[in-house]
Amino acid sequence: MGPLAVLLLLGTLLATTPTASAKGLPYPPGFTIEASNGYSMFVVAVEARRGHPPTIAIFVTGKNDGVFYSAPATVTEKSIQASLGSLGEIAVTFHPSEQARTERSKCGGKPASFDSGYYEGTIDFHGEEGFTEIGATRAPGDVGFLLNLVCPGISGGSGGPFMPGAELDVDAHDHKFGPHLMVVKNRPKARAHYEVGVSEISNGISIGRFAGLIASAGTFTYDPKVQTATLRPPAPFSGSAQFHRSAKLSNRWTGNLTVDLPGKAGVKLTGRDLKAKLAHAHWDWGGTSE
């Protein structure tokens, strides 16, 4: 999932006043449920707002990767219903308990209290290429995942010719669909931070797949003047790639680098449809600068 999509969704959700129960407790806008293969799924309903139709947002997350789905839905005060085609179906109704549950973001802030009831109905999900499966009829209401979306990750960055670090960015030419790769390190012997993702629309469902990892310094090497660079990252990547600033545009970014993302294996990260940029950089990763 791209960061912009997450932030836009988050802004919409935080701007929506939750429906309150008889005791004044807001209903949770969604639920979290465990899935197979080490994944969990957070489902949240986004009511119609400012001319935008109601949608369902689904975050399927693992330890270092995940997928974001957004699809049309029917949303009421207590129900969420969406047909996801080959991915499955979500059709649930919230049952309030009139008892409070309190959650706090992992990064602090004020706690949020909401009704501790549950959603019941059909929770059926089949991840592409079998990366995960869910078949359930009940899940507790939850806001914890939503609260944690506001936790900081990368807190700031800067660039300049005297920085010892480097950042390599790879994008599709249209910037909208196709893969995106970013790798950055703060000095030649520092560990390399990778973020990779790909966006698409399939049968009316917007999909964003993503993964991130921290790898050894040798997986990303570059010369002091950032004219050349080589990537040899570990799994879920395969292959390697090279950047040569002085080469012709068609040969500036070459290799056989691919990545396996949840539900989509073998995503190509080199080729004529992609462009690469290399520059000096320094990043502060959530308050930890390497």
- Based on the domain organization, do 120 and 53 belong to the same domain? yes
* 140/138 Cα distance (integer angstroms): 7
- Based on the domain organization, do 132 and 45 belong to the same domain? yes
Q: 3-state SS of the chain: helix, strand, coil percent to 5? A: 10, 55, 35
How would residue 118 be classed by pLDDT, with cut points 50, 70 and 90? very high
Q: What is the pLDDT of residues 6-25, one digit of tens each?
A: 445 544 454 444 555 545 78
* 48/45 Cα distance (integer angstroms): 10
Q: Is residue 60 part of a domain?
A: yes
Q: Is residue 52 part of a domain?
A: yes
- Based on the domain organization, do 65 and 183 belong to the same domain? no
Average pLDDT over residues 50-77: 93
Q: Is residue 279 part of a domain?
A: yes
* 79/81 Cα distance (integer angstroms): 7
How many degrees, rounded to 5, is the angle at CA 128 between CA 122 and CA 130?
Answer: 85
Higher pLDDT, 46 or 268: 268
Picking from 148, 183, 202, the residue at the C-terminal end of a domain is 148
Q: What is the pLDDT of residue 1?
A: 35
Q: Is residue 241 part of a domain?
A: yes
Picking from 123, 148, 173, the residue at the C-terminal end of a domain is 148
Q: What is the mean pLDDT of the chain?
A: 86
- Based on the domain organization, do 49 and 67 belong to the same domain? yes
- Based on the domain organization, do 31 and 106 belong to the same domain? yes
H or E segment at 11?
Answer: helix 3-15
Whole-prediction pTM? 0.86
Average pLDDT over residues 243-268: 96
Q: What is the pLDDT of residues 193-230, one digit of tens each?
A: 999 999 999 999 999 999 999 999 999 999 999 999 99
Q: What is the pLDDT of residues 133-167, one digit of tens each?
A: 999 999 999 887 777 765 655 444 555 566 789 99
* 266/258 Cα distance (integer angstroms): 5
* Long-range contacts of residues 238-247, Cβ cutoff 8 Å, at least 24 apart: 241/269, 241/270, 243/168, 243/276, 243/278, 245/278
Q: What is the pLDDT of residue 180?
A: 95
Q: What is the pLDDT of residue 6?
A: 41
Q: Is it the case that residue 3 has pLDDT exceeding 90?
A: no
Q: Is it the case that residue 175 has pLDDT exceeding 80?
A: no
Picking from 118, 148, 178, the residue at the C-terminal end of a domain is 148
* 246/113 Cα distance (integer angstroms): 58
Select from 218, 210, 217, 215 the least CA-distant residue to 235: 215
Q: What is the pLDDT of residue 155?
A: 44
- Based on the domain organization, do 114 and 49 belong to the same domain? yes
3-class secondary-structure state, position 14: helix
* 197/151 Cα distance (integer angstroms): 20
Average pLDDT over residues 239-264: 96
Domain that holds residue 23: 3-148
Q: What is the pLDDT of residue 96?
A: 94
- Based on the domain organization, do 96 and 197 belong to the same domain? no
Q: Is residue 85 part of a domain?
A: yes
Q: Is residue 185 part of a domain?
A: yes
Q: Is residue 290 part of a domain?
A: no
Q: Is it the case that residue 286 has pLDDT exceeding 60?
A: no
Q: What is the pLDDT of residue 103?
A: 82
Contacts of 66 (CB under 8 A, 6+ apart): 1, 39, 59, 60, 209, 210, 211, 262
Residue 25 is given by DSSP the state P
Contacts of 262 (CB under 8 A, 6+ apart): 39, 60, 62, 65, 66, 67, 127, 128, 131, 132, 209, 211
Share of the chain above pLDDT 70, in %: 84
Q: Is it the case that residue 110 has pLDDT exceeding 90?
A: no
Phi, psi (deg, nearest 5) at residue 279: -150, 160
Q: Is residue 209 part of a domain?
A: yes
- Based on the domain organization, do 18 and 118 belong to the same domain? yes
- Total domains in the chain come to 2
- Based on the domain organization, do 224 and 182 belong to the same domain? yes
How would residue 247 be classed by pLDDT, with cut points 50, 70 and 90? very high
Residue 26 is given by DSSP the state B
Q: Residues 133, 251: contact at Cβ < 8 Å?
A: no
- Based on the domain organization, do 165 and 92 belong to the same domain? no
3-class secondary-structure state, position 140: strand
Q: How far apart are the first and last CA of the chain?
A: 26
- Based on the domain organization, do 9 and 108 belong to the same domain? yes
- Based on the domain organization, do 139 and 190 belong to the same domain? no
How would residue 275 be classed by pLDDT, with cut points 50, 70 and 90? very high
